[in-house]
Amino acid sequence: MQSHEPTAATPAPLLRAEGVSLEYTAGERVVRATHRVSFDLHPAERLVLLGPSGCGKSSLLKALGGFIAPVEGRITLDGRRITGPGPQRVMVFQEFDQLPPWKTVLHNVMFPLLASGQAPRAEAERRALRVLEQVGLASFAHAHPHMLSGGMKQRVAIARALAMQPRILLMDEPFAALDALTRRRMQQELLALWAQVRCSLVFVTHSIEEALVVGHRIVLLSPHPGRVRAELNAHAFDLESVGSPAFQAQAQRIHHLLFEETAQPEAATA
């Protein structure tokens, strides 16, 4: 197995997944979601987990969040094994209903700060208002989620996560349920926000284009159970380069890597 020892040229990663296998047990049945997956995440890096439906991307993200434990391998943060959720790792999901509907936008954003004891009320409110400003929703602080569009709800979910000042933001297809134009705008906003906060990001998607736009690095997973198929550098690409020959060539390469070994109908429809 490849050595992961840090050297002077490669500083120790913030988070490390080493040979991570994840399984679900339902009665007699055991479903293996990922098989011996390894990757590193460095400080201020944007890492994308890309792969077809069912390859275990969400499961990996939940494991990084500490919500499920590997049956094999380990996940470490600063060299220490993750044994449960923690305020340094926060998740943003795809679903628009991740915000309790009875709380205002402001109270939604303040809630994790208060519940985790990270900030007293006045400080939580100050921090919440600041991030709402950053995502352009300060004027909706006293609105309830049902009054917001899908994109606005996702902005609130991102604000709620960023208010925690996490070291690692875990995003599970956060824009997948949005229309194409809103999705593009949200990608742009996410990159602008990231430039301000520069936390590490693990972003799950099954869109090749989104992976190239959002990621510095892409971990490509094979179909069920997910194994690391390749790791690709995407530093060169951003929203400006979508459609350029280099972007298209890299997208083609990824497409080929994803589908070259998987002619089964199941994978072809993923």
Question: What residue ranges bind ligand ATP (CB under 6 A)?
Answer: 24, 26, 31, 33, 51, 53-59, 206, 224
Distance of closest approach, residue 71 Cβ to ligand ATP, in angstroms: 13
Length of the chain: 270
Closest CB to ligand ATP among residues 137, 204: 204
Distance of closest approach, residue 96 Cβ to ligand ATP, in angstroms: 16
* CA 61 to centroid of chain Cα atoms: 7
Closest CB to ligand ATP among residues 127, 206: 206
The whole-angstrom separation of Cα 198 and Cα 225 is: 32
Distance of closest approach, residue 62 Cβ to ligand ATP, in angstroms: 8
Closest CB to ligand ATP among residues 50, 168: 50
Query: Is 129 buried (19+), middle (13-18) or exposed (0-12) by CB count in 10 A?
Result: middle
Provide DSSP, 202-267: EEEES-HHHHHHH-SEEEEE-SSSB-EEEEEE-TT--GGGTTSHHHHHHHHHHHHHHHTT--SHHH
Closest CB to ligand ATP among residues 93, 111: 93
Distance of closest approach, residue 93 Cβ to ligand ATP, in angstroms: 11
> DSSP class of residue 7?
-
In DSSP terms, 17 is beta-bridged to 39, 75
Distance of closest approach, residue 10 Cβ to ligand ATP, in angstroms: 29
